[in-house]
Homo-oligomer: A and B are copies of this chain.
Amino acid sequence: MNIVVIGIGLIGGSFAKDAKAVHPGATIVGIDKNESHVTEALELKIIDEGGDYDALESADIVFVSIPVDALLVELPKILDAVGDETVVIDAGSTKAHICQAVSNHPKRRNFMACHPIAGTEFSGPSAAILGLYEGKTNIICEVEKTAFKLQERALELFQKLKMRIRYMNPVAHDKHIAYVSHLSHISSFMLGKTVIEKEKNERDIFDMAGSGFESTVRLAKSSPDMWTPIFEQNRENVVETLQEYIQNLEGFKQLLLDEDFENVHKAMSDTNRIKQILKGIPLTKI
């Protein structure tokens, strides 16, 4: 089996490792506009060889894990270059613009729009993790637009990687993901910003911060290169979630100003049921 991974960072590198683990005989070709990523991935034995789009025609599976702004530009070119029997899977965190960008492409049937909900706050080939996708959800959009035989090949691989599959339309995907992923990143980045601005003397943060703070600002370590285009493509949904979040924070602040501690308690109690909801989330055990 010939597998090509375009963009060999955390997501692509982990996919390469996992794919190799379930298909030891496969050849994994890595393509990255950053040459040092290719070199690093070769050294780490994440890929078997480097390559360019010429490698796409004979590929069985192409996995594209690049920032979503690059996806809009590259995906049509990738589809131009693949063979009739190639399935192209993306891993973009937004889906509406991406599905739109290739909706009229003559090889639309070779594309499967995916969003594997997996990752960490780190990036680059060295951040790749074997088993990253195990138990994780993979959201597939517009599955009916992918050729049946190619769907089958992709789904077989996802099954071997032990992913949970969910089908959704791209507009619904972008709306929901704004709440459970994009908003978390903004809340974390702005929390980090607030504390850094106030605590000019970083010693104080260092000494007083505990694991709770670390947990809530963990996502503020994420890559701005990856996240800026996500916020750009999902701007309307993100602004809406942000508005609601700010309203809830304002409401909580008002309760404090009013010294209405009964309702402060109630606001927290009502949210405590997140415990039950979270129990179902498959986490990366690292």
A residues sitting closer than 8 Å to B (CB atoms) are 117-121, 136-137, 139, 164, 166, 176-177, 179-181, 183-199, 202, 204-222, 224-225, 227-229, 231-232, 235, 238-239, 241-246, 248-250, 252-253, 256-257, 259, 261, 264-275, 277-278, 280-281, 283-284
Q: Which residues from B are CB-within-8-Å of A266? A: 224
Q: How many copies does the complex hold?
A: 2
Give A190's nearest chain B residue, CB to CB.
B248
Q: Could you tell me the distance between the alpha carbons of A177 and B205 in the complex, rounded to whole angstroms?
A: 9
Give A166's nearest chain B residue, CB to CB.
B207
Can you give 29 A-B contacts (C-beta < 8 A)? Answer: A117-B210, A118-B211, A120-B211, A176-B204, A179-B194, A180-B205, A181-B213, A184-B213, A187-B187, A187-B216, A189-B252, A189-B267, A190-B245, A190-B249, A190-B271, A194-B241, A194-B245, A212-B218, A213-B281, A220-B272, A224-B266, A224-B268, A224-B269, A228-B264, A231-B256, A232-B261, A242-B249, A246-B249, A249-B249
Summarize A's interface: helix, strand, loop or mixed. Answer: helix
Question: Are A214 and B281 CB-contacts (below 8 A) given A117-B209, A179-B194, A246-B253?
Answer: yes
Q: Which residues from B are CB-within-8-Å of A248? A: 190, 193-194, 197
Q: Could you tell me the distance between the alpha carbons of A218 and B212 in the complex, rounded to whole angstroms?
A: 8
Which of B118, B186, B216 interacts with A252 by CB under 8 Å? B186
Q: In the assembled complex, how far is the CB of residue A251 from the closest CB belonging to chain B, in whole angstroms? A: 8
Question: Are A249 and B245 CB-contacts (below 8 A) given A117-B209, A274-B220, A281-B213?
Answer: yes
Q: Could you tell me the distance between the alpha carbons of A118 and B136 in the complex, rounded to whole angstroms?
A: 30
Question: Are A193 and B246 CB-contacts (below 8 A) given A202-B277, A239-B257, A283-B211?
Answer: no
Most chain B C-beta atoms within 10 Å of own C-beta, residue among A177, A192, A210: A210
Give A221's nearest chain B residue, CB to CB.
B275
Give A202's nearest chain B residue, CB to CB.
B277
Q: Which residues from B are CB-within-8-Å of A136? A: 210
Most chain B C-beta atoms within 10 Å of own C-beta, residue among A180, A227, A250, A261: A180
Q: Which residues from B are CB-within-8-Å of A180? A: 195, 199, 205, 208-210, 213
Q: In the assembled complex, how far is the CB of residue A195 from the closest CB belonging to chain B, in whole angstroms? A: 5
Q: In the assembled complex, how far is the CB of residue A147 from the closest CB belonging to chain B, in whole angstroms? A: 26
The answer to whether A184 and B191 touch across the interface, beta carbons within 8 angstroms, is yes
Which of B197, B219, B274 interacts with A215 by CB under 8 Å? B219
Closest 4 CB pairs of A and B: A224-B268, A117-B210, A184-B216, A192-B274
Give A224's nearest chain B residue, CB to CB.
B268
Q: Could you tell me the distance between the alpha carbons of A197 and B202 in the complex, rounded to whole angstroms?
A: 36
Q: Could you tell me the distance between the alpha carbons of A120 and B212 in the complex, rounded to whole angstroms?
A: 7
